[in-house]
Structure formats: C-alpha cells, structure tokens
C-alpha cells in the first residue's frame, strides 16, 4: 500500500462559539468517509499505550475530547509523532499506517470515528506483518 505518514492530516472540526460556550459539529463535510462505528478511549493510564496496529482498509478520525495524547505513526519508512490536545482538531488516519497512542494526560478522552464496523481481518497486529504488507 502506497500511503505514507504525510497522508495523515489534522482537520479542523467546525465550531460554533458564543457567550454560552462552544459547539463542535462533525458532519459528512468534515471527514472524507461515512461513519460506521464510534468508540472512545478513557481512563488510560499515562504509562500505557493503545493501538499498536495498522488497518488495511479502515479510515479513522481521532478527536481529543478532553486532555491530550500523542499519536505515533509509521508507514514502514518514515515516522511522525502528533500531539492532539484541542477538541476542535482531529487526526485523519488513512489505511496502511501503523499507529500507537501514548502519553495520555489525566482525564483524557479520545473519540474515534471509523469508516467501517469492527472486522478483525482488517487489522495488522504484528509490525513484521505490517512491513510485509507495505512491500506488497
């Protein structure tokens, strides 16, 4: 697969703001896929990490609803680290990118919008298998 860490993008979540606070809206114009699954990570100890896999076909959009965390990305050649800490900015992760999410701050919540339902066969869970996948 020819995707690279440079294909991963931070996208602005449209926000309406007034004296009562802010309202962020994720609609089909905001992300380039139809949402078929929504889940969130919370109460992750600061010394733990999540992810540690890649997807063959799945797109994901990560939003830090609260707190902060780092997303470590690899494409088999290049690496990139992105800190997410603003609830009006999300990270679009394309297929074929290895990801690990780490350094969760206290009280952080990571919302994940996914382009498909859970399918185990879409996961690449071993980095050596990921490297082979990227070469083919």
Structure tokens belonging to residue 4: 């690279």
61 touches 112 (CB < 8 A): yes
14 touches 22 (CB < 8 A): no
63 touches 110 (CB < 8 A): yes
Known catalytic membership, residue 53: yes
Closest CA to 133 of 9, 1, 30: 1
Selecting among 37, 50, 53, 80, the annotated active-site residue is 53
The Cα 69–Cα 121 span in angstroms is 27
The Cα 132–Cα 116 span in angstroms is 24
Residues annotated as catalytic (active site), given as ranges = 53
């Amino acid at each position: 697969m020819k995707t690279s860490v440079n294909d991963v993008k931070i996208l602005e979540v449209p926000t309406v703001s007034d004296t009562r606070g802010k309202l962020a809206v994720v609609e089909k114009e905001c992300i380039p896929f139809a949402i078929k699954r929504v889940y969130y990570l919370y109460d992750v100890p600061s010394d733990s990490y999540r992810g540690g896999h890649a997807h063959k076909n799945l797109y994901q959009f990560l939003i830090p609803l609260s707190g902060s965390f780092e997303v470590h990305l690899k494409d088999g050649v290049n690496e990139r680290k992105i800190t997410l800490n603003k609830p009006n900015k999300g990270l679009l992760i394309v297929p074929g990118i290895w990801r690990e999410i780490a350094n969760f701050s206290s009280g952080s919540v990571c919302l994940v919008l996914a382009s498909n339902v859970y399918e185990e066969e879409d996961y690449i869970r071993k980095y050596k298998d990921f490297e082979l996948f990227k070469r083919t």
